[in-house]
Homo-oligomer: A and B are copies of this chain.
Amino acid sequence: MARLVLKFGGTSVADIQRIERAAEKIAREYKAGHEIAVVVSAMSGVTNKLVGYCDEITSMYDAREYDTVVSSGEQVTAGLMAIALQKRGIPARSWLGWQLPIICDDIHGKSRILDIPTDEIEKRFKGEEVLVLAGFQGVTEKNRIATLGRGGSDTSAVALAAALKAERCDIYTDVDGIYTTDPRVVPEARRISQISYDEMLELASLGAKVLQNRSVEMAMKNNVSLQVLSSFNDEIGSDLPGTLVTKEENIMEKPVVSGIAFSTKEAKISILNVPDEPGVAAKIFEPISNANIIVDMIVQDVSSKGNVTGITFVVPKEDAKKAEQVLSGLEILKDAEVRVNQDVAKISVVGIGMRTHAGVAEKMFRTLAAKGINIGVIAATEIKISVLIAQDYSELAVRALHDAYNLEQAEV
């Protein structure tokens, strides 16, 4: 007997037929003798519709009222799922954020979970009851509903799994796991059976948007094993092939490279003729940060000519214009030249094995060079190397790298 948290995303509860199908899966895990808490999202499309209502009235809505409106989607699914489980003879009860309760801070619209008391849940488990929790929501000290931000049901599920010390948190979604890269670009892309939290975070932030990043961070912090599974498959979590996201120590074979991520959502900004004096980086990036622009891949020229240097970094494409305006107003850059290049793609090679294996970067550069692809900027962490290239070459680069690291082959 295990204790499991099963989370079903919007497409997995999109209509009554799919809710019934999800209920079947839950029923089979239940009948296998497990203790089960279920977390549900809103039926797909519902949250967007509710957000649209708020936007239609005003763009300056009160986040507390927004939370009251949008949290209703998960409420509906929770009640329907409880009914679907009861129909299968399973004692089930829905729980809204304020009922369990899921205690949150009062940063409405992007609240954080502070505490989940487990007494009631433990009591219900003893009575062999399945709990169906409405995801995405909690209640503040002031007795107001707060939501956790888009994709927040993943966070609800992981937080619940952590509070309950669950053996596993199964995330049922519309894909059957995390792939070595986007299968639409590389048809040979392979599902990864196990991946570490660190790798998942690097892949998620780069576009493999299966799990909300915050939920992966929370899983890592609380040591909750996450399993990404397809709800459109007939098996259940314990038998189903998917991707297990877990701590590095649990992964037996550590592949040098786990996946290739890419993104065309960033623009490159280069500043030439920057005065090469102490504190100049702060004078540039403070105003950028104050304008709420997220900066990545900062590189400063190694060789400065005389008393000037060059600085390059990337920002989200939609913020490039704003960043340029901010920079053009800076006294320190009055003699500098700012160049913006929207035509770039960021390609990243991710793998925990890099920590112990040399030559990964060298193979990346060699592979891209062999295809005649020029590398703009390079940035690296312990388990990731990212390069900027011309956007036109992004798919070619991903395919070549996927092939170079033999990612289409089954893991050892």
A80 adjacent to B87 (CB under 8 Å): no
Q: A76: which B residues are within 8 A, CB to CB? A: 50, 53, 69, 72
> Quick check: B86 and A65 within 8 Å, CB to CB?
yes
- Which residues of A, 32-85, contact B by the 8 Å Cβ criterion? 50, 53-54, 56-58, 60-62, 64-69, 71-73, 75-76, 78-80, 82-84
A72-B76, A87-B58, A143-B99 as given contacts; A65 in contact with B53, CB under 8 Å: no
Cβ-defined contact, A68 with B57, below 8 A: no
Number of copies: 2
Interface check A158, CB cutoff 8 A: no
Cβ contacts under 8 Å, A244 to chain B: none
Chain B residue nearest to A75 (CB atoms) is B72
Q: Which residue of B lies closest to A17 (CB)?
A: B56
**What residues of chain B lie closer than 8 Å to A83, measured between beta carbons?**
54, 57-58, 61-62, 65-66, 69
Determine if A69 and B79 form an interchain contact, defined as CB atoms under 8 angstroms apart. Answer: yes
Residues of B within 8 A of A84 (CB): 57
A16 within 8 A of B: yes
Q: Contact mask A77-103 → B, CB, 8 Å, 1/0?
A: 011101110110000011010110000
Q: Is the CB of A19 within 8 A of B57?
A: yes
A54 touches B80 (CB 8 A): yes
From B16, B57, B60, give the contact of A80 (CB < 8 A). Answer: B57
Asked whether A79 lies within 8 Å of B66 as measured between CB atoms, the reply is: yes
Closest approach, in angstroms, between the C-beta of A298 and any C-beta of chain B?
40
Q: Give A162 to B78 CA distance when docked, in angstroms.
A: 34
Is A20 part of the contact surface with B, judged by Cβ < 8 Å? yes
- Whether A57 pairs with B87 at a CB distance below 8 angstroms is yes
Q: How far is the CA of A231 from the CA of B271 in the complex (A)?
A: 60
A64 to B99, CA, bound (A): 13
In the assembled complex, which residues on chain B have CB atoms less than 8 Å from the CB atom of A66?
Answer: 79, 83
Q: Which residue of B lies closest to A23 (CB)?
A: B57
Contact of A79 (CB < 8 Å), options: B68, B94, B99: B68
Partner of A86, one of B62, B71, B72: B62
Q: Is the CB of A96 within 8 A of B79?
A: no
B-side contacts of A87, CB under 8 Å: 57-58, 60
B57-A79 in contact (CB<8A): no
Within the complex, the shortest CB–CB distance from A113 to chain B, in Å, comes to 20
**Smallest Cβ-Cβ distance to A71: which chain B residue:** B75
Distance in angstroms between the alpha carbons of A20 and B61 in the assembled complex: 14
| Chain B positions within 8 Å of A96 at CB level | 68
Of A16, A53, A60, A93, chain B has the most CB atoms within 10 Å of the CB of A53
Cα A87 to Cα B310 in complex, Å, equals 48
- Name the B residues within 8 Å of A99 (CB-CB): 143-144
- Report the separation of the CA atoms of residues A237 and B62 in the bound assembly, to the nearest whole angstrom: 28
Query: B80 and A94: CB pair below 8 A?
Result: no
Quick one: given A65-B82, A82-B62, are A20 and B57 in contact (CB under 8 Å)?
A: yes
Instruction: Supply 24 A–B pairs (Cβ within 8 Å), ascending by A.
Output: A16-B53, A16-B57, A19-B57, A57-B83, A61-B86, A62-B82, A62-B83, A62-B86, A65-B79, A65-B86, A65-B93, A65-B94, A66-B83, A68-B78, A68-B79, A68-B82, A68-B94, A68-B96, A69-B79, A69-B80, A69-B83, A71-B75, A72-B73, A99-B143
Closest 3 CB pairs of A and B: A68-B79, A69-B79, A72-B72
